[in-house]
Structure 1
């Protein structure tokens, strides 16, 4: 049993690794979100990219294959995720991809002197860092002048989720994201983590220029509401389009996930 903060996170994801992809491929909501995250990255041109929290390496190998001239690097805290991702890279013979093991605070030691013009985080890896503002400073140093960050976060203010849990009379679950420590999605295992509001994220990344922002699962059920998603399966595409239409309203900030695109100023400071 690991006792340190990051030790507990590593232990959690080591245990999560074996069934990670099976759960993903059975979940159309997660698949649709991942594809949209990837399209946000592909809006930009880049020659080097870094993923924080690559998991089993699905996105690293995707970008390494679709952008063969781009150098793709990644870090993940989990030794088991690192093993799976490294095996995937090796099996696909991708010479332009390197998966490393480590936490974000070790980034500059793992890739000394390197900067990246695209840094991305899919599915909320930054929700598990000890210090979000400190992580933002590290990513500011890691980004090239003019470099882009595409970052997704588990949202603190998931309004529909609160209402669903209140209707179930699950008051603790309804307000779990508002606590200092969230605990993650699992009902049986705790993940040291914290949910962030849109204001907290903008403050942490204030040294970057905001470019875009989006919310996910605003009216469409979050990925973990399996029964509700099955009941509404025939309306899934309509609900997704409704979410996208709501991006132009204040409701965008009340989805289950948020995504932010930031750009580092060309002169290295704001």
Structure 2
């Protein structure tokens, strides 16, 4: 029996990202931390061979267009909940004269309808789009259906246990933000706009995606301040490369699970 989604839930998320779309790129290009993390996400995708790829939460289309240009022989498709984001992404692809890009509007639950009978060799999610799905287990089941046999998933999540962030907030005596990720409903990054979302621990992700083989896991901003600590990142800008390298070393230890973002590479068995 087909499960119903909550239109009100996704309408709230759509409204959030519609209002965020206009100056999204401007803010991104001013943030060197986000840029470095995005490039590392991309390199994780490029480790694998694929003839088709799918992005969940493509935003303004930065990554779909990037991969369509670096892999012109590959079919690139994606879905995003925001109509405003979709408009920007489509214009971006048209300006590059790309014919191998398909950007659709909808939620993960719409994939079976919009891409009926299709499968993709590579599915990727950058910057935690799956943190906002209504039911992550259901989303994982849908991804299992649309990924090709032996296909790869490169998924990033806003991590539940961001210890450095907790410490920074506690030092500021900001107790609610310090523990906000531990709640059943998180609320997103904005201090003024509510985004229905949830943060997941590595243990929860491994359980939810148990029908896949876990190939790799990686943490980001373990020591390096998260992208939204703008003042702190300006202050320590010259030390940023060293902190990035320290984070890469910490990924060889248990500390990987305490970063701001967590990335997982899964393979369909």
Asked if these proteins are the same fold (TM beyond 0.5), I'd say yes
Aligned to 1:268: none
Is 1:72–2:76 an aligned residue pair?
yes
Distance 1:54 1:81 in 2: 8
Any idea what SS the aligned residue of 1:56 has? Answer: coil
Aligned to 2:3: none
Aligned to 2:242: 238
Residues 159-196 of structure 1, C-alpha deviations (whole Å, 9 max, x = no match) = 00000000100000000000011000001100000000
Alignment of 1:259-270 (within 5 A): 259-265=263-269
Is 1:175–2:179 an aligned residue pair?
yes
Name which of structure 1's ranges 87-96 and 157-166 shifts more when overlaid on structure 2. Answer: 87-96
Name which of structure 1's ranges 83-92 and 114-123 shifts more when overlaid on structure 2. Answer: 83-92
Is 1:50–2:69 an aligned residue pair?
no
Normalised by the length of structure 2, the TM-score is 0.97
Distance 1:150 1:170 in 2: 33
Aligned to 2:200: 196
> What root-mean-square deviation, in Å, do the aligned CA atoms of Structure 1 and Structure 2 show?
0.9
Aligned to 2:132: 128
Aligned to 2:143: 139
Q: Which of 11, 25, 31 matches 1:7?
A: 11
Aligned to 1:86: 90
Distance 2:181 2:74 in 1: 37
Q: How many residues get paired?
A: 264
Any idea what SS the aligned residue of 1:182 has? Answer: coil
Any idea what SS the aligned residue of 1:260 has? Answer: strand
Any idea what SS the aligned residue of 1:248 has? Answer: coil
Q: Which of 252, 255, 258 matches 1:254?
A: 258
Aligned to 1:107: 111
Distance 2:153 2:7 in 1: 32
Distance 2:92 2:149 in 1: 31
Normalised by the length of structure 1, the TM-score is 0.97
Distance 1:102 1:183 in 2: 21
| Aligned-pair CA distance for 1:3 | 7.6
| Aligned-pair CA distance for 1:126 | 0.1
Distance 2:202 2:146 in 1: 23
Residues 102-161 of structure 1, C-alpha deviations (whole Å, 9 max, x = no match) = 100000111111000100000000000001110000000010010000000000000000
| Aligned-pair CA distance for 1:91 | 1.3
Aligned to 2:169: 165
Any idea what SS the aligned residue of 1:108 has? Answer: helix
Distance 2:25 2:185 in 1: 26
Distance 1:233 1:100 in 2: 38
Gaps of 5+ in 1: 266-270
| Aligned-pair CA distance for 1:59 | 0.1
Is 1:205–2:209 an aligned residue pair?
yes
